Amino acid sequence: MTLDRAFLDNLRVRSAGRIEWGPGLSAGELDAAERKWGLKFPPDLRFFLETMTGGSDSFTHWARTADEVIAERLAWPFEGFCFDIEHSDLWLPAWGPKPETLAGRIKAFRPFCEAAPKLIPIFSHRYLPSEPSAAGNPVFSVYQSDIIYYGANLGNYLENEFFGRWDINPWPVKTRIAFWSDWAEGECDDALA
């Protein structure tokens, strides 16, 4: 799926009445957001954000969404894991011996989550990894430790989310993302002790 102007024009037309689209952000606004939030928009996401923005509050609008909301969305993946560590007894042997206290478990888990590529919120709990800084990263749906692919890349995600194009077979994800792909591909299914 090539994310180009024709694709985005088609997205506007086909989702009319369901999603309100606004003008894109300037290069300066995107540069400021990257500096402020310590992230780098991959080129396909940057192109999308320069071309159009979503009018719904479920979209992260990097120039208008309140700072506290953006901060919450950026923290959502980590906080979700913390919830499962506390309430579902989530623990992987790779994280080392399981500390006895919740505070100890959170402290021991934090470096693993912080070492993973930062996830950039797009829409609701759909995220695109900031690394590698190249087009074609998969989009993840992140809800606590329930992580699934929601698109093989940004264009495929937009088709799935806004065109309703779902396949029974998984899409060919070409770029594996450290930590996040392990969860999406079920390699951590035994994590609930």
Residues ≥6 apart with Cβ < 8 Å to 77: 113, 119, 127, 142
Q: Other C-beta atoms within 10 Å of 41: how many?
A: 22
Question: Considering only CA atoms, which of 162, 181, 179 is closest in space to residue 171?
Answer: 181
More confident residue, 159 or 180: 180
Decide which of 138 and 170 is more confident: 138
**Residue 116 C-alpha from the chain's centroid:** 12
Q: Tokens standing for 158?
A: 């937009």
Question: Does 6 have pLDDT greater than 80?
Answer: yes
Mean per-residue pLDDT for 101-116?
A: 96
What is 114-155 written as a DSSP string?
HHSPPEEEEETTEEEE--SSSTT--EEEEETTEEEEEESSHH
pTM for the whole structure: 0.92
Domain ranges for the chain: 5-191
The mean pLDDT of 3-19, rounded to a whole number, is 89
The answer to whether the bond into 132 is cis (omega within 30° of 0) is yes
Sorting pLDDT into bands at 50, 70 and 90, what band is 186? confident
Q: Helix 5-14 and helix 43-51: axis angle, to 10°?
A: 50
Pick the range with the lowest mean pLDDT from 13-27, 111-125, 128-142: 13-27
Looking at 3.40.47, 3.90.550, 3.40.1580, 3.40.1130, the CATH number of the domain 5-191 comes to 3.40.1580
DSSP 26: P
Mean pLDDT of all residues belonging to the chain: 91
Q: In Å, how far are 49, 97, 152, 180 from 117, measured between CA atoms? A: 20, 24, 17, 8
For residue 169, pLDDT over 60 is answered with no
- Find the largest Cα–Cα distance for the chain: 55
Split at pLDDT 50, 70, 90, the class of 16 is confident
